[in-house]
A and B are shown apart, each in its own frame.
Chain A
Amino acid sequence: MENNNSAQQFSTVIVPKTKLLDFHLKELVRYRDLIFLFVKRNFVAHYKQTVLGPAWAVIQPLLTTVVFTVVFGKLAGLAPGGVPSFLFFMSGNIAWGYFSGCLTATANTFTGNAAIFGKVYFPRLVTPISTVISNLIGFGIQFAMFLVFLVIYWIRGTVQPTLYALLLPLLLLQMAMLSLGVGVIISSLTTKYRDLVMLVGFGVQLWMYGTPVAYDIGIVPAKFLGLYMLNPMTPVINTFRLAFLGIGSFDLPHYLLSWAMTLAVLVIGIVLFNRVEKTFMDTV
């Protein structure tokens, strides 16, 4: 019997450490239903027992856009000429809103889910991935609102969308991947250093001012532009505006560079996440 047993194959073996680049992708696929249930839960739970329901997804960016238009557009004069400043700020707002929403939510993965992670195993990446997807629903609603305004202005002839609009899925994917990557890096580090939780909200805000959301890229002095374009979100926002508002130009080298940075951040994030997920329950 003893010999028999030692030859037996097991479907799962738990050992102290896994390989550095083992992403458990197969397992993630097996848990795809869980991802979608989490998405549904996040969405439903977010708006249940609110009177306006998903309308809140629209109200918030709408008001922010109005504020931006007044403060940054009218008072500070940071909007570019040629396009309605309302649409200009709204496009920046909803794109940035998606990115920052995903980032802050995924940065909370380990600390926010410690209770459930401590009781049952499932691939931990399921949680941040579902966060990113459920934020996509909110983005969809906001984007629909944006389209309504866009069509109105388009009929009036004040904006001219371009064929770059076809890049939208790619832009979304990139924002999702970048926010996921940065988010899981932060959440992995927060298991040890809670200080980072404080930094996230503040950091995201700073990052926004380093990205042409509340102003036009034209105001950035030329000597800083090289450094400025290293921000992987800058080409994304620029391309988004080019696609729907027809302003600016497509900067392929910087766009590719931002993709490379996105992928690098994501890979580093997942490696870090996988290292932390095995034992974070002991320290969190």
Chain B
Amino acid sequence: MDELAIKIEHVSKQYRLGAIGGGTLKGDLQSWWARKRGREDPNSKIGSRTDLKTGDKFLALDDVSFEVKKGEAVGIIGHNGAGKSTLLKLLSRVTAPTSGSISYNGRIASMLEVGTGFHQELTGRENVYMNGAILGMTKAEIDRKMDQIIDFAEMRQFIDTPVKRYSSGMYVKLAFSVAAHLDSEIMVMDEVLAVGDMKFQQKCLGRMGDAANTEGRTVLYVSHNMNTIRQLCTRCIVLDHGKVVFDGDTEKAISIYMNRNSLMQLSYDLGDERPYKDLDDWMRISRIGFLELASEPLYRMGDTLKLRIDLNSEKDDPKIALRIMVRTLDGVRVGMTTTAPVLHIRPGPQSMRVELPLTGLAPGSYQLTIVYYSINTYGTDKVHDRIMDICSFVIDQDPAAFNHKEWLHGTWGYLTLPELKVQAVNSVTEE
């Protein structure tokens, strides 16, 4: 399986900033005349960034190189403007690179958008032919796949109706189905799964997983949805400002990508405003800080996380409880722990020290949600203050743990259970 499917070598894509040509011959002549006389170009955009003048070069992709093996499912993640879409555009030959080369084997089915070339007046069936042909299938191939396509889209009933009568969901289902059944060696997808209902999304993911795992097709997938990335991809490339900043394990890539969103701090100062409607306003957390850490919130497996929480109260209440919830950086709920309703909150500023044993939490990046609440006479919660998704921290893996295997969140989840106890039993003598 070491055969390469895609090889990208030193690819750069350059765009010129500002108004790209006046768009009219007159505009171009004006610009030329102004430049010639050393005046300001009358066609440059007003208020465009001053450090990037019109005509300046902007590298959407900057010397990007990587290889993808046949049968791999590779995710490409990065923030808006990182160059993901440009990369996919180059791969699907919508536009050409400024320098470098892209080599690949076989056909690329690119799904930058589902339903490209669907014509409103044509029926579903006619559009399948149309769409398939645009994606590079021949008519004979489409004929062979037609039944599969219709069944996958679950719309045999409507296939001979013009697509202008379709609901948007039907439209997307049919379009995805065509693309998914294309006999291409490489599939390139840009968040096409953001559409369609949950069930269909799962079906599509399954279909793409099959394509990679059992049919040996290569999948390149761009998404902001880390769950689908995790589900589908075995490897991830993180792009940032047109450069590859990470290439490798999916979980690592996701945490690298996520960390850039919420910088790891050692303490957080908080105001009084909260975006929740269900809170009292008589107590507020003013500051949360990690304790006993050198430079960054980094723990080893089984360590105890220590926090100092500063708060202000206007009332006296001896029956307050504290709850801490743990979530991954992309929001997967991992667990919760709480105290009994015994904390005594006094009027005025005060601090408390909180210890959270990280026993059982798998290596990875997490964040906390901190809630002060009390339990009223009906047995329901009354929340006094809540801070969500704060105090991000990382648990490093012990190199020797799990027989030197790196923890796979997609497969194993977020909890390490206590070690297995196994004893040999001699069944013959036992009897």
Contacts and interface: CB of A to CB of B under 8 A. Distances in A.
Interface of A: 1, 4-5, 8, 10-17, 30-31, 33-34, 37-38, 40-41, 44-45, 48-49, 116-122, 192-195, 278-279, 281-283
A16 B98 contact: yes
Interface stretch (B102-110, B198-206, B283-291, B394-402): B102-110
A13 B92 contact: no
Contacts of B96: 14-17, 278-279
Contacts of A4: 2
A202 to B, nearest CB: 15
A34 B94 contact: no
B384 interface: no
Contact of B20 (A13, A15, A118, A282): A282
A35 B97 CA distance: 27
Contacts of B26: 195
B160 interface: no
A8 B98 contact: no
Given A10-B7, A37-B133, A38-B130, 12 more contacts: A10-B104, A13-B101, A14-B101, A33-B137, A41-B122, A49-B121, A121-B94, A121-B110, A193-B24, A194-B24, A279-B96, A283-B21
Contacts of A40: 126
B320 interface: no
Contacts of A117: 94
Nearest to A281: B95
B103 A282 contact: no
B93 interface: yes
B192 to A, nearest CB: 11
B4 A194 contact: no
Contacts, number: 117
Contacts of A279: 95-96
B112 A119 contact: yes
A14 B126 CA distance: 32
Contacts of B134: 34, 116, 120, 122
B116 interface: yes
Among A11, A31, A120, A193, the most chain B Cβ lie within 10 Å of the Cβ of: A120
8 contacts: A16-B100, A30-B138, A31-B133, A33-B139, A121-B110, A122-B136, A279-B96, A282-B15
B99 A14 contact: no
Contacts of B303: none
Contacts of A281: 89, 94-95
A125 B21 CA distance: 25
Given A5-B7, A45-B121, A282-B15, A10 B105 contact: yes
B13 to A, nearest CB: 9
Interface residues of B, number: 49
B113 A119 contact: yes
A4 B7 CA distance: 13
B129 interface: yes
B163 to A, nearest CB: 12
Contacts of A44: 121-122, 126
B135 interface: yes
Contacts of B93: 14, 121
A101 B138 CA distance: 29
A270 to B, nearest CB: 17
A35 B362 CA distance: 56
A14 B110 CA distance: 15
B55 interface: no
A6 B106 CA distance: 17
A195 B23 CA distance: 8
Interface string B3-34: 11001000000010000110111101000000
A278 B90 CA distance: 10
Contacts of B121: 44-45, 48-49
Nearest to A45: B121
B67 interface: yes
A45 B119 contact: yes
Contacts of B302: none
Nearest to A118: B94
A120 B112 contact: yes
B135 to A, nearest CB: 7
A275 to B, nearest CB: 10
B101 A193 contact: no
Contacts of B110: 119-121
A106 B15 CA distance: 28
Interface in B19-74: 20-21, 23-26, 28, 67
A79 B126 CA distance: 47
A116 B130 CA distance: 12
Contact of A10 (B90, B99, B103, B139): B103
B335 interface: no
B105 A14 contact: no
A119 B94 contact: yes
A185 to B, nearest CB: 15
A12 B334 CA distance: 46
Nearest to A34: B133
